Structure 1
Amino acid sequence: MTEIGVAKLAFTKMQGLGNDFMVVDATQKPFDYSVGQIQSWSDRNFGIGFDQLLVVESTDRSQVDFRYRIFNADGSEVQQCGNGARCFARFVFDKGLTDKTEITVETASGIIVLYIEGDGVRVNMGVPNFAPEALPFTAEKQADSYALQVEEQTVMIGAVSMGNPHVVLEVEDIQQASVDVLGPLMESHARFPERVNVGFAQVLSPTEIALRVYERGAAETLACGTGACAAMVVMRLWNKIEDSVTIHLPGGDLLIQWSGQPESPVWMTGPAVSVFEGLIEV
């Protein structure tokens, strides 16, 4: 509380490849704020400005260190965020909430394990789930690719859950990709009842992909960790790339690794940086 009795919330602003976050420690006090408050904090002119809000909570589950919650800029709560997971790990380690360099975290989509490695963070993102019901996605049966009618055109997509729903389409030129047009149309497509993240991937070589992602609830962002994982596994499924790939996003690069085996997890390695700390009136 301030001297005049106005409540303040402490936060840290962080970024992973330009994908930026407001991070809040709620291990000692429940996080109980409205959608409207989150939206106002996310405003880049009148608030803090961020793509997602990350909330660190304690957990009663055995062999789990923390609970991790994610809210989009529009106030909607989502299951997973790869760049956010790296920032989460850096936050709890740098703040002294743990001294572990292997951190087990509970998310809405399951358990993930985060590894502090020097200035970067490596994340076991779990096993990709290609079942349509996992996204969810309306399809007659599971397939490696699907034809999706988007207004007057048909696009071929891969669909996968990386703890949150993704579709990936291959493009010839990442700079000319119709992200601003197709992104919102596909995000809210009727075949995705809970909306979907949309990745536009250009395969540069068997070990490199250029990627832009239109994120559910946040529009196009500079980087998307789960989107990078989704692009890698779909292109690997389509035999376009090898097991270890550098993903070039507008905000920087991520290393994504997946063997292509059905029960193998996806590994993501990349940076996580603290930008500034502050207090905001609540």
Structure 2
Amino acid sequence: MLVNFYKLEGTGNDFILLDFLRGRFSFKSGKIVKLCERHFGIGADGVLVLLKARGKGADFQMRIFNSDGTEAEMCGNGIRCVARYIYEKGLSRKSVLKIETLAGLMEVERRAGLFRVRIGKPEFSPEKVPVLSDEPVIDKPLKIDGEEFRVTCVSVGNPHCVIPVESLEGIEMKQLGPVIEHHQWFPNRVNVEFVEVISQEHLKVRVWERGAGETLACGTGACATLAACVKLGLAKKSAKVSLPGGDLLIELENNFLYLTGPARLLYKGQFDPKNF
């Protein structure tokens, strides 16, 4: 039996969406890896799975799998893509969707063609990130391959390590990203953001996503970057975050992070699970 899939993208972060509102999702991690493979599969940064809500007050449930087959707690670009699909297919007329994730219940509001996601509160306590430290890791030194970086660790539903640099030019992401992702400080691994501060209202970011590698954008990474830069006094509470795939508006209001950006439904297709 062929399975329908939908291809979507949010600021260059591309996803395969599988609609299992009326079925049972049982794909193994190996199948996820093969689907995301860009030469022999469909190709994507990850797989989004839309499911019936389980908890009270939720409209839908989203699961997100990285291209290495691991499951993530949350994805800011992915949840916007899920919202785009829900509205495109007429699955809800609500102006604000409540979507369950492993990081909790997220609210997504449709605003003039864009989507505003209430991400939640940034957490700097080491047990919440998690990071192996007796105190919050804020502007602390981390040595990688003989080079010292000043890092700030924060959770926005998933773990992030934010590193301000003078310039993003010359950052060896393929070398530094995996080393930091798998560093002994991080028991659950970590997402890595290098940030160049253009101004207090404009941040330029490159991201190494846990389980996916360098991507064109990461919504939660943009949120974590703003939260860290506000904590360090480098940014105001509302800023444009520019990533290789485009710009996002990130806001910190009453200690809650909000992410606003686009999402596009690109095309629909079918695949035979036996081939993966």
Residue identity in the other structure for 2:60: F
Residue number among 214, 218, 241 corresponding to 1:247 in the alignment: 241
Secondary structure at the counterpart of residue 127 of structure 2: helix
User: Is 1:268 equivalent to 2:262 in the alignment?
Assistant: no
RMSD: 1.1
Match of 1:3 in 2: none
Residue number among 151, 157, 161 corresponding to 1:157 in the alignment: 151
Query: Which moved further from structure 2: 105-114 or 169-178?
Result: 169-178
CA contact (8 A) 2:115 2:260 kept: yes
Residue number among 202, 208, 232 corresponding to 2:226 in the alignment: 232
CA contact (8 A) 1:222 1:249 kept: yes
Match of 1:168 in 2: 162
Structure 2 spans left out of the alignment, 5+ residues: none
CA distance in 2 between partners of 1:55 and 1:83 (Å): 14
CA distance in 2 between partners of 1:13 and 1:272 (Å): 11
Residue identity in the other structure for 1:65: D
Counterparts of residues 1-282 of structure 1 (less than 5 Å): 7-259=1-253, 264-282=255-273
CA contact (8 A) 2:126 2:132 kept: yes
Secondary structure at the counterpart of residue 86 of structure 1: helix
CA distance in 2 between partners of 1:78 and 1:44 (Å): 20
Shift of residue 92, structure 1, vs aligned partner: 1.1
Residue identity in the other structure for 2:263: A
CA distance in 2 between partners of 1:234 and 1:61 (Å): 31
CA distance in 1 between partners of 2:139 and 2:63 (Å): 31
In the comparison of the two structures, how many residue pairs are matched? 273
CA distance in 1 between partners of 2:129 and 2:39 (Å): 33
Residue identity in the other structure for 2:172: S
Residue identity in the other structure for 1:276: Y
Secondary structure at the counterpart of residue 180 of structure 2: helix
CA distance in 1 between partners of 2:104 and 2:145 (Å): 35
Secondary structure at the counterpart of residue 121 of structure 1: strand
CA contact (8 A) 1:171 1:177 kept: no
Secondary structure at the counterpart of residue 125 of structure 1: strand
Runs of 4+ in 1 over 3 A off after TM superposition: none
Residue identity in the other structure for 1:100: K
Shift of residue 34, structure 1, vs aligned partner: 1.1
Structure 1 spans left out of the alignment, 5+ residues: 1-6
Shift of residue 153, structure 1, vs aligned partner: 2.5
CA contact (8 A) 2:136 2:153 kept: no
Residue identity in the other structure for 1:200: F
